[in-house]
Amino acid sequence: MKNFLLTLLLITFSACATSPTGRSQLMLVSPEQAISASREAYVQTLAPLQKKGQVDSDPATSARIKWITGRLIAQAIVLYPHTSDWEWSVKVIDDPEMVNAWCMAGGKMAIYTGLIDKLEATDDEIAQVMGHEISHALANHTAERMSVALASQLGLAGLGIATRDSDYGGAMLTGSALAATLAITLPNSRTSETEADVMGIEIAARAGYDPRAAATLWQKMGAVGGKTPPQFLSTHPSPVNRQENLSKMAEQLMHLYLDEGDRPVYLLQ
């Protein structure tokens, strides 16, 4: 048992990376592994919805989302050239009650019609949502969260070995199942949320979307749903000062938004 824990500690300390904002990250799972798992998870997640006709069912809405997201992706590629090799994709899921959006590793995205319609979201506000989600992928948050989950599972497995208690064992979520669960249902850390806020609002501003919409988006998000918060808030924990911080960032980024330079578009199929 002692050797197992020592090995786990050595692996943990040696598997560190640095995020785009300079933060140290645990990386037991490589970004490439997370992208591969997410590619499979994306297909598995969308397949039953496609059978029900719930994916890209409204051509006008799909075209709108692809145009907005395409402008964001173009800026993401400028800032992070390695992502030009990603198989970028965005789908609109027809679910009027679901207020949510997500992005898996490698740029596999989805947004629900509930978020668009219930919030009466403007193009600027949708850009903030998708810019934030894209930033989770750019910062390798899926790989990081998979690594944390793996470390936890390894720790529990070690505890089970030490105590000979099978209750610490059980089935381990791995690969595509874990990637899908982390992207869609489990909450992000406050640290990764702040990181995605900082990165996402800049990408949206560079793409020509008003950064002040980040604060109005969260105002709307907090107002919708009454006693039942939208899914987006359960997977994206919001500190009380989030709107204030976003407003301050918006003022600092207005020059990017007002820049009259070209706004290229990544064409999504």
Residue 254 CB contacts under 8 Å (≥ 6 apart), including other chains: 205, 211, 212
Judged by DSSP in three states, 239 sits in coil
Catalytic-role residue among 125, 133, 193, 202: 133
Report CA-CA distances (Å) from 4 to 42, 43, 142, 161, 250.
34, 36, 26, 9, 48
Judged by DSSP in three states, 200 sits in helix
Start-end of H helices in 52-140: 59-79, 113-118, 123-138
DSSP 42-74: HHHHHHHHHHTT-BS--HHHHHHHHHHHHHHHH
Contact 199, 138 (CB under 8 A): yes
Report CA-CA distances (Å) from 162 to 85, 154, 157, 171, 172.
44, 12, 9, 18, 18
Look at phi and psi of residue 86 and say left if phi exceeds 0, alpha if psi is from -120 to 50, else beta.
beta
87 noted as active-site residue: no
CA distance 56 to 73: 19
* Sheet strands (E) in 205-267: none
Q: Which residues are catalytic?
A: 133
